[in-house]
Amino acid sequence: MSKKFLKNIEWSILICVGILIAIGCVALYSATQSTEHDELIKQLVWLGISIPIVIGIFSIDYELIIKFSPIGYGIMLVLLVAVLFTHPINGATSWFIMGPVSIQPSEFTKIFVILALAFCISKIQEEGKSEISRPSKLGLCLLVVAVPILLIIKQPDYGTAIAFIIATMFMLFASGINKKYIIVSLALIVIILPLMYLYILPDHAKTRIDVFLNPDLDPRGSGYNIIQSKLAIGSGQLLGMGVKQGNQTQLGYLYPKTTDFIFSVIGEEMGFVIAGLVIVLYVVLITKIIYIAKTAKDDKGSYVAIGIAGIFIFHMVENIGMTMGLLPITGVPLPFVSYGGSSLLTNLILIGLVLNISGRRKKSLFIE
């Protein structure tokens, strides 16, 4: 690696990620007392596996990675179909179980959908920047995203599907798409959402929305997790109750406390100061990624970076929002903090791609 490459890298991103992982490990250490820290140990193993992979991603020119991304995209589609035939876990067919290890292909699909969509948009724009606004070309881009989204909804995993949609919106906006499509899309969302609630969403999804609006509708059933999460965060106050000292965390009232509600553990045991620090770290991380998108050396790099920013924005807002009762529960993990090997590896690969782009940037080519 050249000195110029290393100089261009936004090292603050690595610092933010490192602090988030450290806070997550402390929270997992506390939350896994009853299981002899089994999930923490697995998380550390996945972290060890991730580091050399990320270094490899970091070292290869991202243009080469994007060039071969359609192959990875095709493999992910095959895995998304295959996982539908696995045994359901908590009502979802989202994982391949191989002994003590579980692999969630929808997580890794995030990487290849962003890369493949960036590849598709850049190929279309070789004929002209305005080509992306042609209905046929735009439809092709949307098809790239729609196929994995439909397969993920089939699992069902609505949270991950929404993450794909948010990333796509960010990337298309950055591509300079005609603003009329944005206006029409927003209007369609306003019309479609009530129809989805009435005629498409399964009963358990409707219940989550109803309970989000009024947790007291079912305080011992569907509203239980939200109520306990809010109690945990509130009881932490400024400095927290202390690691391994949280009532909701240690007495088993939070579930699942190592994944969906890890932020509740942080809020209860480490208090507002550390919980606020987590939010600040995400804001800095995402702001830096958006800056990299604006200063990438080419459009492909811009599209990949802004798509990754969209993924992280959705996961942060949704996970923290649902633990506070501000958003419906969707089972979306908190990046770098929640337990999950597939999630951790995926997120670190995305960071590797961002650093790759930042090291090779020259000037802003972001669409105005």
Which residues of the chain have a pLDDT value below 70? Answer: 1-2, 362-368
The residue extents of the domains of the chain are: 3-185+223-359
Distances 135 to 11, 174, 329 between C-alpha atoms, Å: 40, 17, 35
Reading the block at residue 45, the tokens are: 């193993």
Q: Scan for tokens 């995209």, then name that residue.
A: 73
Note the pLDDT of residue 1. Answer: 62
Report the amino acid identity of residue 179.
Answer: K
Alpha carbons within 13 angstroms on the beta-carbon side of residue 205 total 16
Note the pLDDT of residue 195. Answer: 79
Note the pLDDT of residue 366. Answer: 43
Rounded-to-integer distance, Cα 50 and Cα 360, Å: 22
What is the pTM assigned to this prediction? 0.91
Note the pLDDT of residue 272. Answer: 95
Preceding omega of 256 cis (within 30 degrees of 0): yes
Answer yes or no: are the C-beta atoms of 264 and 233 closer than 8 Å: yes
